[in-house]
C-alpha cells in the first residue's frame, strides 16, 4: 500500500518587527540629546515657496544631455569615480572666471558638505566659529557635528554688518573661523566686498564667505572671489542648487587658495562625489547661460514682490537673493498655517514675527499674493487683539 505524504501548507511568514529600543535608550552624544533633524517641511502642496529653489527645471534639451551623460557613466559604475573630480573642477574654474585655476576649486555634495569639510579641517575641539545672526539655521549644526564652539553676535537693525561691527566681535571672541553669509539667509542682505577685504586684512582667522545666492544679486560679478589673490585664508563657498536650478544634483564648491583646498582634501571621505553627480554637474556648468536664463526674471519677481508687500503695509527686508523676509505678524505660525490651508507653503524662519517667501513662477507668485490677501485681515485682527 502506497502512502502519500500530506501536502505541506506553507508556513505563515512572520512580519519582521523592529527592535523596540528607543532613542532615549541609545548612547547618543550628550550634545545631540533632544535635538531634531534639520529640514524644512517637504509637503505636497500646489505652491512650494519655502526652500529658495529655482522654480524652473532644466530645459528638455539639457535634461536629455544629462541623461546621456549618466548613461555613459553607467557603463563604468563598477569603477570608483575620479576622487579629485578633476574635469568638474576645471569646468567650474572656467565658469567662475577671476583667473581662478582648477586647483583652487573644491566640489562636494552641496555647500553643506563643503562647509563640513571646512570645519573638519579648521574647526574642532577648542576652536571657535563666529557668525552673525539671524543667519542660516544649519551653521550651528555644522559646528556641533564637528565639535567646534559656535558663537554668534547680532546683526544691526537693518540686518547688515559694518567693518567695525565685525572687527569688534572678532576682538571680543577671538575666533578661529569667521563665517559671513552674503547674501544672508534668511534676510537677503549683503556684506560689501570692501568690508570683507578690510576684515581679511585685520584678522588671521579662516574667513568663510557663503555666496550661495550670489548669482541673484544685482551685481553678481561683485564677489569676494576677487579677493582671493590678496588673502590666503579666505574661502568663498558657492552652490549649483539655487540659481543653477540643480538642487537635486547636490553640488556645492569652495573657491580658495590651493593650500586651503589641499586641507579640505585631507578630511574628505574617499570618493565622496559620485560619478553621476560629477557628470550631471558638468553638463549644467557647460550650459551655464541657459541654466541661469531665468535669474533676471526671478530677480525682477523678487523686486516686484517686495514693492507689493510694502504696498500692503508689511515690513520687508530689502533682499539681494531669490527670497524675501516679510512681517511682522503677532502670530506668524497662524499666518503660515493659513497660507498652507490655501495650498501655499512658505518658511517660518528668522526673527520673531517674520516669514520668508522665495520668488516663484508668475502662477506661483499670483497664488501667494491671493492667499496672503485672504489671510491678512485675520492676521491684523490678531495684531489688534495683541495690542
51: domain CATH number is 3.90.1150.10
Q: Specify which residues 235 forms β-bridges with.
A: 208, 256
Assess whether 123 and 191 both reside in one domain. Answer: yes
Assess whether 152 and 80 both reside in one domain. Answer: yes
Q: Are strands 315-317 and 323-327 parallel, antiparallel or unpaired?
A: antiparallel
Position 278 in a domain:
yes
* pTM recorded for the entire structure: 0.92
Among 27-41, 58-72, 77-91, 247-261, the least confident range: 27-41
Domain holding 341, by residue range, is 47-56+294-386
pLDDT beyond 70 at 29:
yes
Position 36 in a domain:
no
Question: What pLDDT score was predicted for residue 370?
Answer: 98
Mean predicted lDDT score pLDDT of the chain? 94
pLDDT beyond 80 at 11:
no
Question: What pLDDT score was predicted for residue 9?
Answer: 66
> d(Cα 344, Cα 245) in Å, to the nearest integer?
20
Domain count, the chain: 2
What single-letter DSSP state applies at residue 216?
Answer: G
Question: What pLDDT score was predicted for residue 14?
Answer: 73
Position 200 in a domain:
yes
Question: What pLDDT score was predicted for residue 199?
Answer: 98
Band (pLDDT 50/70/90 cuts) for residue 42 is confident
Question: What pLDDT score was predicted for residue 37?
Answer: 87
Q: What is the CATH number of the domain that holds 207?
A: 3.40.640.10
pLDDT beyond 70 at 49:
yes
CA atoms within 13 A on the CB side of 244: 26
Domain final residue, candidates 265, 289, 313:
289
Assess whether 260 and 321 both reside in one domain. Answer: no
Domain final residue, candidates 289, 306, 333:
289
Assess whether 118 and 204 both reside in one domain. Answer: yes
* DSSP 3-state of 243: coil
Question: What pLDDT score was predicted for residue 40?
Answer: 78
Domain final residue, candidates 289, 319, 353:
289
pLDDT tens digits, 83-128: 999 999 999 999 999 999 999 999 999 999 999 999 999 999 999 9
Assess whether 307 and 283 both reside in one domain. Answer: no
Assess whether 166 and 258 both reside in one domain. Answer: yes
Assess whether 255 and 324 both reside in one domain. Answer: no
Position 17 in a domain:
no
pLDDT tens digits, 274-309: 999 999 999 999 999 999 999 999 999 999 999 999
Assess whether 342 and 209 both reside in one domain. Answer: no
Position 218 in a domain:
yes
Residue given cell 578690510 in the structure block: 198
Among 197-206, 277-286, 372-381, the least confident range: 372-381
> d(Cα 86, Cα 329) in Å, to the nearest integer?
49
Q: Are 198 and 165 in contact (CB under 8 A)?
A: no
Assess whether 64 and 145 both reside in one domain. Answer: yes
Amino acid at each position: 500500500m502506497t502512502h502519500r505524504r500530506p501536502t505541506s501548507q506553507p508556513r505563515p511568514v512572520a512580519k519582521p518587527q523592529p527592535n523596540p529600543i528607543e532613542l532615549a535608550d541609545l548612547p547618543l552624544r550628550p550634545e545631540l540629546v533632544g535635538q531634531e533633524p534639520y529640514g524644512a517641511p517637504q509637503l505636497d502642496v500646489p505652491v512650494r515657496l519655502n526652500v529658495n529653489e529655482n522654480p524652473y527645471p532644466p530645459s528638455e534639451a539639457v535634461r536629455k544631455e544629462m541623461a546621456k551623460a549618466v548613461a555613459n557613466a553607467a557603463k563604468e559604475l563598477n569603477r570608483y569615480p575620479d576622487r579629485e573630480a578633476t574635469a568638474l573642477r576645471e569646468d567650474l574654474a572656467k565658469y567662475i572666471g577671476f583667473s581662478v585655476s582648477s586647483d583652487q576649486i573644491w566640489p562636494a555634495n552641496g555647500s553643506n558638505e563643503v562647509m563640513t569639510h571646512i570645519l573638519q579641517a579648521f574647526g574642532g575641539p577648542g576652536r571657535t566659529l563666529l557668525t552673525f545672526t539671524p543667519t542660516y539655521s544649519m551653521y550651528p549644526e555644522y559646528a556641533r557635528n564637528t565639535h567646534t564652539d559656535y558663537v554668534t553676535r547680532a546683526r544691526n537693525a537693518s540686518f547688515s554688518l559694518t567693518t567695525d561691527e565685525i572687527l569688534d566681535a572678532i576682538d571680543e571672541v577671538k575666533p578661529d573661523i569667521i563665517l559671513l553669509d552674503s547674501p544672508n539667509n534668511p534676510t537677503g542682505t549683503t556684506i560689501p566686498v570692501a568690508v570683507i577685504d578690510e576684515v581679511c586684512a585685520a584678522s588671521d582667522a579662516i574667513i568663510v564667505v557663503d555666496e550661495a545666492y550670489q548669482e541673484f544679486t544685482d551685481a553678481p560679478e561683485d564677489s569676494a572671489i576677487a579677493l582671493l589673490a590678496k588673502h590666503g585664508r579666505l574661502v568663498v563657498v558657492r552652490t549649483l542648487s539655487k540659481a543653477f536650478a540643480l538642487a537635486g544634483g547636490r553640488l556645492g564648491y569652495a573657491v580658495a587658495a590651493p593650500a586651503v583646498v589641499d586641507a579640505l582634501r585631507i578630511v574628505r571621505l574617499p570618493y565622496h562625489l559620485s560619478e553621476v553627480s560629477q557628470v550631471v554637474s558638468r553638463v549644467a556648468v557647460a550650459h551655464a547661460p541657459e541654466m541661469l536664463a531665468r535669474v533676471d526674471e526671478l530677480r525682477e519677481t523678487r523686486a516686484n514682490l517686495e514693492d507689493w508687500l510694502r504696498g500692503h503695509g508689511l515690513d520687508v527686508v530689502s533682499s539681494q537673493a531669490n527670497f524675501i523676509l516679510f512681517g511682522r505678524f503677532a502670530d506668524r505660525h497662524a499666518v503660515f498655517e493659513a497660507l498652507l490651508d490655501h495650498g501655499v507653503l512658505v518658511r517660518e524662519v528668522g526673527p520673531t514675527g517674520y516669514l520668508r517667501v522665495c520668488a516663484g513662477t508668475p502662477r506661483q507668485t499670483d497664488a501667494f499674493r491671493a492667499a496672503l490677501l485672504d489671510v491678512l485681515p485675520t492676521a491684523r485682527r490678531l495684531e489688534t487683539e495683541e495690542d
